[in-house]
Amino acid sequence: MTATLATSRFKDVMAGVGGPVTIVTAFDEGTPHGTTVTAFASLSLDPPMVTVALSENSTLLPRIVRSGRFGVNVLAASQRGLAHRFARPGVDRFAGANWHADDGLPRLAGCLGWIACDVTQAVRGGDHFLLLGAVKDAQRSGPETPLIYADRAFGTLLPCPETMPAVTSRTVS
């Protein structure tokens, strides 16, 4: 199999893996910056840590490395438009956005959750950098459902109905 075919197949498989939609933010010389990120995950509870993966070409990455801090705005299902805005290059992503500084980081209003982090390490992985963040503050804002990205589309989670039959395991011979 060629490298191009392997990459294409890998991208197709990973498109089916749903992930939370976040907007990662930082200040640089007093100006807020941010981008939409789906490569975000919890890493550790003791101490509390998260991971965020940013492309080596990200304009946000050097700003975070310089400041040593980043914020994670966990988007609610109703914030699809905000996710699109912060994913677009070449626009003022904060123009018209409702935000304020919280713990020295840009925080967007109406998000499902907020996490303020100090960078503990930046690790290169292929064409991305994995930022390890020590959580300094975390707040859940409400009961709304999270915005999820899967199969190259935004969506949300719905609880499984209680009437669904239980899944049982069986041995396959």
Query: Is residue 129 included in any domain, yes or no?
Result: yes
Q: What is the CATH number of the domain that holds 86?
A: 2.30.110.10
Query: Is residue 3 included in any domain, yes or no?
Result: no
Residue given tokens 């749903």 in the structure block: 18
Query: Is residue 159 included in any domain, yes or no?
Result: no
What stretches of 38-172 adopt beta strand conformation (E)? 40-45, 48-55, 69-74, 99-102, 105-108, 113-125, 128-140, 147-150, 153-156
Encode pLDDT of 40-53 as tens digits: 999 999 999 999 99
Encode pLDDT of 117-146 as tens digits: 999 999 999 999 999 999 999 999 877 899
Query: Is residue 37 included in any domain, yes or no?
Result: yes
Domains of the chain: total: 1
Q: Which domain holds residue 17?
A: 8-148
Please report how many Cα atoms fall inside a 13 Å half-sphere around the Cα of residue 128, on the Cβ side: 11
pTM: 0.87
